[in-house]
Structure 1
Amino acid sequence: MSIKLKLLAAFGFLFCVIMLLGGLGAYYLRELARDSKAIIKDNYESVEYASNMMKLLDELQSLQVYYFFNPENSLDTVKYQSLVNRFNKLLLAERQNITEIGEAGLAASLAEDFKDYLTIFEKGTGSLPDKNSYYFNHVLPAYEPVKTQVAQVAEMNMQAILRKNQTAQQTADRVVAYMGLLGTASMIAALGFLILLPGYIANPLKQLTFSIEEIANRNYDKRLEFDSNDEYGNLATAFNTMAARLHEYERSNVSKLLFEKKRIETIIQHMQDAIIGLDENKYILFANPTALAIIGMQEVELVGNYAPDVASVNDLVRNLIKELMIGRDSWEEAERRPLKIFANGKESFFSKEIVDVSSSKTPNGKPRLIGHLIVLKNITRFQELDAAKTNFIATISHELKTPISSIKMSAKLLEDSRIGKVNEEQQKLIAHIREDSQRLLKITGELMDLAQVETGNIQLHIRETDPKEIVDYACHAVAFVAGQKQIEMKLHIPPSIAAVQADREKTVWVMINLLSNAIRYSPQEGKIEVTVLKQKDCIEFSVKDFGKGIEEKYVERIFDKFFQVPESNENFTGTGLGLAISKEFIGAQGGRIWVESTVGTGSTFKFLLPIVKNIKSFIP
């Protein structure tokens, strides 16, 4: 029998038991409800009628006593008639609700006696010599049988209620007995299913799971043995066939894998770049001869060892894995510069690249990190060419500064009337000469600053500096240019702000450069927002404009040397050095500079400077 049929039989049996319990319960509940309904409908209403009639008889008697024993008062006929009508109405309802044997005759006799009672009473309402005697001799004797018969009606129905209640109790006891027996049998059957069925289903699955884990661990000799003719038996046959074929496939592919592994190792060994491989747990898997020569260690000292343990005895390895240990987000930009390593008998420069290796085949479809590659490329020749270029720029800039200053002075002398008068056209030419010389002086100045930055000879005067002074000085410097375009400058600086550890002059130069760019790319009658905020252990300066913005593809290159955003401003031609120098100035002070921009909404340039430790905030 298949598992499906077995499960259908088991759950079908439980379903039948539940249906049987439900059917019997519904049947006996219906019986109990019918008995209860009979008690309430047939007898309780008669008891209620008799009780109300007894109350009305008491009121009639009180009215009669008041009338007969107080001769000066007349009979309240309205109340009397109301009591009589209500009694007759209840008596009629009782006669229509006859449920017991003899109850009909008793009700008829009660109606007749009540009629006689009223007749006797009404005769006494005329002129009588002795009303007291008439009440005791005629009215009261007629009242007693009526009262007695009402009580008999109530007693008859109360006895019926007790009798029927006993019948309902017997039915309830029968229901409890039957349901108890059937429930016990059902619980025994369900307990059997509860104990046997999970094991019947789960045990083969447990064996299957264990066997799959063994296959995953390359134990292809594992087999399943299910002694059954159901789906589990078919599953065992299919599993065993799969394991046998995997075993054959493994034997046929091991040689191919070993060949590919050997080829990859040969390629890595003969690469000119230094390559070090680590697994996801930071254990060193391999290092080619170039890497071993640069590090200065033997292969046995590296391969198979935990990278941080090797780093504890080798400074170069510590520098190479530092990025992996502290995380990419905490990696300082300044530490991404070329590494200076003494190799091949001289100082050499290497660029470091860390490549994360991920597996694309995972159960959940997401890539899983399986290791890292550290690649060192020798860039010594390029570094030497860059140094030569920097020296050339510094020399040319220095040599050009003197003749340009002389040209500027000569243009100024030509404008002096003591030298001689010049016409309007000559005046325009002199003005152009003066503007061009001023522009050339600015370019040579920026080139000299760039050369100073690239040679690492930045002269910094780090001291405690008030951030508000930096902003105020820079805003004052560009106030005239901003006024020409009617640009509003809004400052957002807290009343109390911590001091920064910075070179005041170079930080002001950076702020002026950012404000000048913001003014240049802001629309006429626009606005610029300058904000200073405390961010953890740093002070953040930001300059926001509401101009055209920078396209995303240019954001990453905006701080590159000589780079300018294409067609950003057709009326401006700069050198593309301002932001590059600003980046170097801020980085040299231990800070960081970046830009956030969206096309159409403007750009925000921000930079961070460290707070001076253990100092008080500036409070105006």
Structure 2
Amino acid sequence: MFNSLKRKFKKLYIFLVLIIVFVGVVSTLNAERLRISIDGMISNSYKSINSTNGMINAINNQNRAILIYLQDNKEEALDIFHSNDDEFYKWLYIEKSNITEDGEEELVDKVNIEYIQFSKLFSSLQDYSNGQNHDELVNFYQEKISPQVLVVIENLKTLSKLNENSMYSNKDLIKARIEESIYFIFSISLIGAIVGAAISIVLTNRFFKPINLLVDSIKDPVLFLDKDNKIKFINDDGKKLLGIENINYENKNFLDVLNLPEVYNFIKDPIKNEGVNKIIELSFNNKRYYFNLTISVFKGKDNEVEGVVLILKDITNLKELEVVKKNFVGTISHELKTPLTSIMMGIGLINNKSIGKLNDKQQNIVDTIEEDVQNLNDLVSNLLKISEIQANKDNFNIKSNDINKIMEEVLLNFEHQAKEKHISLELNLNEKLPFIMIDKEKIKWVLNNLISNAIRYTDSGMVKLDGNFDEEKIYISVTDTGRGIPKEYLKKVFERFVRVEGFEIPEESTGLGLAIAKEIVEIHGGKIWCESKVGVGSKFIFTIPLYLNKL
């Protein structure tokens, strides 16, 4: 079904693209035709006017150079005159190659002849300057050269006027062609839009019908909301479950239709929560439901949110199974606790020789039984701990606590154990560490587990407990100089019953301690991870937010 829809949408998309391409090609060809027309009517005339202005500027500069020459600055004057001579002929040749109007070529030839005459007169002035006095040179300039400059400039102005008149005379024709082009492009675009819209409406209604059926077939609530959290669509099963079958919800704010503040808080920040799974408990029709909330975000320009799709996946059955599993683990653990206690008491009586003396072989057997029973007892205790945490994670005893004091108390309990292994204990506290909202006993359990593991797997060196913080969270770390953990196990060690291959694991290890620590830290809103290098040591770090959200 999805492949079929995909093919149909592809065909629709290709058809619309072809219409757009057709309109674009026709419009482009028409615009190019108009451009060529304008070039022929205006651009050439403007080019001639620009060339004429260039020649006028050049000859004016040469006239100024002659005046400088008369002031006896001959070297400077000659430089100016000859550089502008080159400039004049540059513009003259451009104009010669751009003849478009009747009579223009004759005018260009006349300008050329008059300019040559002007250049000859300046040469004559230079010859006279060797034998004539200054007054005679000035008279020569005023009587011969200055009138010739005016003749050349007058001819150039006539040439410019000829092209200006041509531009103005073509103005109405250009305007008519532009209007014709605009109407043509608008007509083609309108036809393309009407045809495309008509076909799109027909095909979209046909194609989207299966999608509507698909969405309505989903048994979990599906909601479409715009960027202002106004509801645009809810599938049929969603309306039925949420009890809004007979309510007009469209374009109304989420909270005005559904009094679900926890869900609303989740969708208020869609960018942050996209891809996040949030499990919530809701009650409808006197029945308790559990939903896994997920959202998908539609983005527009500049990655701005245009809308979201909210899916409430019903996981009530899974949640009920989870409760059954927890109850089963708790019940079994409690049932095992009683016989294990009896066995431990019996072993204690045997070791106290209250029922007779044992030989060496019997004593070894009893010692082995005692170790195994102790390991089993630790395992049961950890299973009970997990069951307790999962059952009461919404009811942690969260209070403000001095984390420095807690760290000092915990480390003090391990002095004897560290001394026996010749390991030094270090405590690095930050006096500015703020009080934090935590369950004191649960965090002490995490610290006890991390420090006992560090001592257990360290043969020599030190174990260090650090505390620090930034603007958002507190960082607590336990560093050792033990055997280290291979890179591929740095995440797996926090899973239940995981053991690192290739390492001798102490018999007292149950493989649950780090899993429990991870669960406690995450319930507090923090994270826990490990940094390690084989043969160098390990560092376990966990964080606690400074502003703990309500659990």
Secondary structure of residue in 2 paired with 1:468? helix
String of CA shifts for 1:451-501, please: whole Å, max 9, x gaps: 112222787544442111222233344566667888776655322332223
Shift of 1:324: 0.8
> What is the rounded CA distance, in whole Å, between the counterparts of 1:482 and 1:181 in structure 2?
110
Q: Which residue of 2 aligns with 1:507?
A: 443
Secondary structure of residue in 1 paired with 2:294? strand
Alignment of 1:446-461 (within 5 A): 446-456=382-392, 460-461=396-397
Alignment of 1:269-418 (within 5 A): 269-311=216-258, 314=259, 316=260, 318-327=261-270, 329=272, 336-343=278-285, 345=286, 347-356=287-296, 358=298, 371-411=307-347, 414-415=350-351
> Is the alpha carbon distance of 1:32 and 1:256 closer, same or farther for their aligned partners in structure 2, counting shifts above 3 Å?
closer
Shift of 1:390: 1.4
Counterpart residue identity of residue 454, structure 1: Q
Shift of 1:504: 2.2
Count of aligned positions: 455
- State TM-score, norm by structure 1: 0.57
> Is the alpha carbon distance of 1:2 and 1:491 closer, same or farther for their aligned partners in structure 2, counting shifts above 3 Å?
same
Alignment of 1:14-413 (within 5 A): 14-30=46-62, 32-33=64-65, 36=68, 39-40=71-72, 101=131, 160=134, 226-227=179-180, 236=185, 240=187, 243-244=190-191, 247-248=194-195, 250-311=197-258, 314=259, 316=260, 318-327=261-270, 329=272, 336-343=278-285, 345=286, 347-356=287-296, 358=298, 371-411=307-347
String of CA shifts for 1:307-340, please: whole Å, max 9, x gaps: 13324xx2x3x33232111456489x9x933414
Higher radius of gyration, 1 or 2: 1
Q: 1:605 aligns with which of 519, 536, 541?
A: 541
Does 1:471 pair with 2:471?
no
CA contact (8 A) 2:528 2:541 kept: yes
Does 1:437 pair with 2:373?
yes
> Is the alpha carbon distance of 1:523 and 1:15 closer, same or farther for their aligned partners in structure 2, counting shifts above 3 Å?
farther
Alignment of 1:556-567 (within 5 A): 562=496, 564=498, 567=501
Counterpart residue identity of residue 7, structure 1: D
Segments of structure 1 that go 5 or more residues without pairing to the other structure are 45-97, 103-158, 205-225, 613-620
Secondary structure of residue in 1 paired with 2:387? helix
Q: Which residue of 2 aligns with 1:59?
A: none
> Is the alpha carbon distance of 1:27 and 1:301 closer, same or farther for their aligned partners in structure 2, counting shifts above 3 Å?
closer
> Is the alpha carbon distance of 1:253 and 1:342 closer, same or farther for their aligned partners in structure 2, counting shifts above 3 Å?
closer
CA contact (8 A) 1:540 1:606 kept: yes
> What is the rounded CA distance, in whole Å, between the counterparts of 1:357 and 1:373 in structure 2?
7
Counterpart residue identity of residue 420, structure 1: K
Shift of 1:448: 1.1
> What is the rounded CA distance, in whole Å, between the counterparts of 1:173 and 1:370 in structure 2?
75
> What is the rounded CA distance, in whole Å, between the counterparts of 1:184 and 1:483 in structure 2?
111
Counterpart residue identity of residue 324, structure 1: I
> What is the rounded CA distance, in whole Å, between the counterparts of 2:298 and 2:245 in structure 1?
28
Shift of 1:442: 1.9
Counterpart residue identity of residue 321, structure 1: Y
Shift of 1:243: 4.7
> Is the alpha carbon distance of 1:20 and 1:298 closer, same or farther for their aligned partners in structure 2, counting shifts above 3 Å?
same
- State TM-score, norm by structure 2: 0.63
Shift of 1:22: 3.2
CA contact (8 A) 1:405 1:437 kept: no
> What is the rounded CA distance, in whole Å, between the counterparts of 1:559 and 1:167 in structure 2?
107
> What is the rounded CA distance, in whole Å, between the counterparts of 1:352 and 1:329 in structure 2?
16
> Is the alpha carbon distance of 1:571 and 1:605 closer, same or farther for their aligned partners in structure 2, counting shifts above 3 Å?
same
Shift of 1:240: 4.3
Secondary structure of residue in 1 paired with 2:443? helix
Secondary structure of residue in 2 paired with 1:337? strand
Does 1:6 pair with 2:31?
no
CA contact (8 A) 1:348 1:378 kept: no
> What is the rounded CA distance, in whole Å, between the counterparts of 1:602 and 1:394 in structure 2?
33
Q: Identity, % of aligned pairs?
A: 21
Q: 1:592 aligns with which of 519, 526, 538?
A: 526
RMSD: 5.2
> Is the alpha carbon distance of 1:325 and 1:459 closer, same or farther for their aligned partners in structure 2, counting shifts above 3 Å?
closer
CA contact (8 A) 2:232 2:250 kept: yes
Alignment of 1:457-606 (within 5 A): 460-478=396-414, 491-516=427-452, 525=461, 530-536=466-472, 539-543=474-478, 547-548=484-485, 555=491, 562=496, 564=498, 567=501, 571=505, 575-586=510-521, 590-595=524-529, 605-606=541-542
> What is the rounded CA distance, in whole Å, between the counterparts of 2:281 and 2:233 in structure 1?
21
> Is the alpha carbon distance of 1:266 and 1:496 closer, same or farther for their aligned partners in structure 2, counting shifts above 3 Å?
closer
Structure 1 stretch displaced more, 319-328 or 484-493: 484-493
CA contact (8 A) 1:493 1:533 kept: no
> What is the rounded CA distance, in whole Å, between the counterparts of 1:394 and 1:4 in structure 2?
88
> What is the rounded CA distance, in whole Å, between the counterparts of 1:352 and 1:173 in structure 2?
97
CA contact (8 A) 1:550 1:602 kept: no
CA contact (8 A) 1:485 1:524 kept: yes
String of CA shifts for 1:243-301, please: whole Å, max 9, x gaps: 54654454445344324434433344343323333234422223334323332233434
String of CA shifts for 1:149-199, please: whole Å, max 9, x gaps: xxxxxxxxxx73x776788899799979987997999799899989x99x9
CA contact (8 A) 1:341 1:348 kept: yes
String of CA shifts for 1:43-74, please: whole Å, max 9, x gaps: 99xxxxxxxxxxxxxxxxxxxxxxxxxxxxxx
CA contact (8 A) 1:549 1:603 kept: no
> What is the rounded CA distance, in whole Å, between the counterparts of 2:434 and 2:54 in structure 1?
79
